[in-house]
Amino acid sequence: MKKILSWFFFLLFLSLPLWLPHYPLHLACTVGIFVILAVSLNIIVGFTGQISLGHAAFFAVGAYTSSLLAMKFGVPFWIGIFAAGIVSFGFGILLGIPTLRVRDIYLSVVTICFGLMVQLALVNLEPITGGARGIYGIPRPSVGDFAFMTPQSFYYIILFFALLTIFSTLRLLRSRFGRAFLSIRENELAAETVGVRTTYYKILAFAISSFYAGLAGSLYAHYVSYINPDAFTFGTSVDVLVMIVIGGLGNVWGSVIGAFVITLLPEYLRFMQQYYRAVFGLGLIFMMVFMRSGIITVFQRVPWARSLSK
Amino acid sequence: MTRLLETRKLTKKFGGLTAINEVDLSVEEGRITALIGPNGSGKTTYFNLLTGVYPPNEGEIFFDHENLAGMKPSFIARRGISRTFQNIQLFQRLTILENVMVAQDFHCRSTILGVYLRTRAVVREEEEVRRNAKSFLDLVGLKGMEDQEARNLPYGAQRLLEIARALATRPKLLLLDEPAAGMNITESSDLMSLIKKIRDQGITILLVEHDMRVVMGISERVAVLNFGQKIAEGSPEEVKKNADVIQAYLGRGKKRA
């Protein structure tokens, strides 16, 4: 049953560009990018038990790195996206360092400030980042003569990286690294006394998470081909945090579901016109009250879906 | 007999309170040593100093010819000191097996890249870690409960899981902080034979315990703390007769007043 279902979803997502109209397909691309952001943030928050309200900063670092490489040095997307990941990884180490000294609410303030700093830097380093106007005309990726100009084709690039993020994160979390992350979440003192180098693993969690967020940033930049600091606000960080909480903290598939719900739900509430944001907010509050462990718990009650939720 | 652990003038102050006051204590390799003393005498604080939970204010902790004073807990664990906690500190929402697997982390060689590519070495190591974890669970008598979450275990079993987890780091010295607390007489008898079995595998044991039946039944040496100072040390028989020890536990008698 699980196999059939997995194939069904795989083929469904593979076939989307064949039958989805333009706008819904654009939404699917957006969902894909947010899947990467949510799954990666979950490594820090859901698995390692640290808090981060600055995830948009890494999204931004990735977006600007790969855009600038493409615009100023003509670096192709396929190299730029990994460069974006690596630069973001470096910034992740930077933000990981405060976690050694501060935790909980204090850490959340540090991460918020980090996000604001990055955003301010983007606005003010005008000669490099284009300031508030941002960067225009970021080239679409291409292979030989074929350029991924349409959402239909770009969708597959996003799908590929989203799947890469999901399955590589699952592998990571089912290894010694995942166990070490979880042990820090569960009991940092005990983790230390059984020899887990908690400082190393906390920084590693931030760095790996940032790497993926950097990939997402690069995808975003080359997909919309125009970026400015408004796309990487505190609000974006909050959105991603809401995704992983709504989906179910500490569960990779929960984050995927969260990314879908938070991206798509407002779209389907638009018929309520000016009230749709309010209804959306109310919906989230109800979900939190009645499904505190996230939407994924619904799946955990269904026998054949249970294996998905591990 | 060689000394595996030796503290020299080990001191810890909390504000104006001297919790551990210039304690010189040595633990001989391959033996079971007990650390006893009335409540608040500093036994757990002493353990916390040995394992790096707190840095000492003064003094040295020589372990295997190396001064570990002021080192981080994970560093000390890697050097071969492992412990259990009086107030249980398990990874509550991890399974029993995972609790013991985590404790082997610093013996693992897998790299991130290896994990992503799922190389044969990574798969083999993972199997080995799992197999080791099962054998430690087997040793303490928790076989067949591997997939339950630690928080669902009964209290006595949680204490045993702490021992299995501590053993999984493959320590030279195992510190047990009141392992028999909350156990009935059958359970504590089982515990005594388990501790002996662990010692027979070549692991030195230092235990803090209030249950005198356990202390006198298995320890070869006993040290006594009172108000942060060592007041006696010797064989169980010697310590039992020591006037200072009797006074610390029972108070000053009329004759000596």
Question: What does the pLDDT read at residue A6?
Answer: 86
Q: Nearest Cα to A83, choosing from A203, A182, A214, A223?
A: A214
Q: Which of B205, B77, B163 is nearest to A194 (CA)?
A: B77
Tell me what percent of the residues of chain A surpass a pLDDT of 90: 71
Q: Taking CB atoms and an 8 Å cut-off, how many pairs form between chains A and B?
A: 93
Closest to A172 (Cβ–Cβ): which among B83, B91, B115?
B115
Q: What backbone torsions phi and psi does residue B70 show, to the nearest 5 degrees?
A: 85, 0
Predicted local confidence at residue A72, as pLDDT: 93
Looking at the predicted structure, is the pLDDT value of residue A309 above 70? no
Residues of chain A in contact with residue B169, where contact means CB-CB under 8 angstroms, are 194-195
pLDDT category, A292, cuts 50, 70, 90? confident
Contact flag A182-B82 (C-beta cutoff 8 Å) = no
The interface predicted TM-score of the complex, written ipTM, equals 0.92
Pairwise CA distance, residues A207 & A88, whole Å: 8
Max mean pLDDT among A56-60, A141-145, B214-218 falls in: A56-60
**Residue B106: partners with Cβ closer than 8 Å, 6 or more residues away:** A195, A196, A197, B74, B77, B78, B169
Is A215 part of the contact surface with chain B (CB cutoff 8 Å)?
Answer: no
| Mutate which: A176, A187, A209, vs B, most B CBs within 10 A | A176
Q: Which residues pair with residue B230 across a beta bridge?
A: B225
Residue whose token pair is 């790497």: A211
CB distance A171–B72 less than 8 Å?
no
A169 contacts B78 by C-beta, under 8 angstroms: no
CA distance A215 to chain B (A): 16
Nearest CA in chain B to A194: B103
The answer, for B149 touching chain A at a CB cutoff of 8 Å, is no
Helix A104-124 vs helix A234-247: crossing angle, to nearest 10? 140
Q: What is the mean pLDDT of residues A239-250?
A: 92
* Residue from A194, A215, A251, A310 whose CB has the most chain B CBs within 10 Å, to mutate: A194
Q: Which of A135, A159, A148 is nearest to A66 (CA)?
A: A135
Rounded distance between C-alpha atoms, residue B224 and residue A82, angstroms: 61
State the total domains in chain A: 1
Residues in B touching A190 (Cβ below 8 Å): 85, 89-91
CB contact under 8 A, A193 and B51: yes
- What whole-number distance in Å separates Cα of residue B176 and Cα of residue B163? 8
Per-residue pLDDT of chain B in tens (257 residues, 90 and over written 9): 689 999 999 999 999 899 999 999 999 999 999 999 998 899 999 999 999 999 999 999 999 999 999 999 999 999 999 999 999 999 999 999 999 999 999 999 999 999 999 999 999 999 999 999 999 999 999 998 899 999 999 998 999 999 999 999 999 999 999 999 888 899 999 999 999 999 999 999 999 999 999 999 999 999 999 999 999 999 999 998 888 888 888 777 665 44
With 70 as the cut, is the pLDDT of residue A195 above it?
yes
Helix, strand counts (H, E) of chain A: 15, 2
Torsion of CA B152, B157, B159, B161, to 10 degrees: -80
- DSSP element (H, E) containing B224: strand B221-226
Please give the sequence-ordered ranges of beta strands (E in DSSP) within chain A, or none if there are none: 142-143, 146-147
Tens of pLDDT, residues A85-137: 999 999 999 998 888 888 788 999 999 999 999 999 999 998 889 998 999 99
CB contact under 8 A, A195 and B103: yes
Q: Residue A73: CB partners within 8 Å, gap ≥ 6?
A: none
Q: Name the nearest CA neighbour of B45 among B86, B3, B103.
A: B86
| Average pLDDT of the segment spanning A143-158 | 91
Angle at A103 between CA A98 and CA A104, to 5 degrees: 135
pLDDT at B127: 97
CATH of the domain at A126: 1.10.3470
Interface of A with B in 166-205 (CB under 8 A): 168, 171-172, 175-177, 179-180, 182-183, 186-187, 189-198, 204
Contact B115 A182 (CB under 8 A): no
Residue A229: the pLDDT is: 95
- Where residue A273 falls among pLDDT bands split at 50, 70, 90? confident
Q: Which of A175, A186, A193 sits opposite B110 (nearest CB)?
A: A175
Q: Which phi and psi angles does B102 have, rounded to 5°?
A: -55, -35
Say yes or no for a CB contact (<8 Å) between B105 and A190.
no
Domain residue limits at A184: 2-13+20-309
**pLDDT the model gives residue A304:** 60
* Partners of B223 in the β-ladder: B35, B233
pTM: 0.92
Among the listed residues A310, A250, A307, the one whose alpha carbon sits nearest the alpha carbon of residue A6: A307
The residue behind tokens 């998905």 is: A308
Residue of B nearest to A197 (CA): B74
- Give the mean model confidence (pLDDT) for residues A74-84: 96
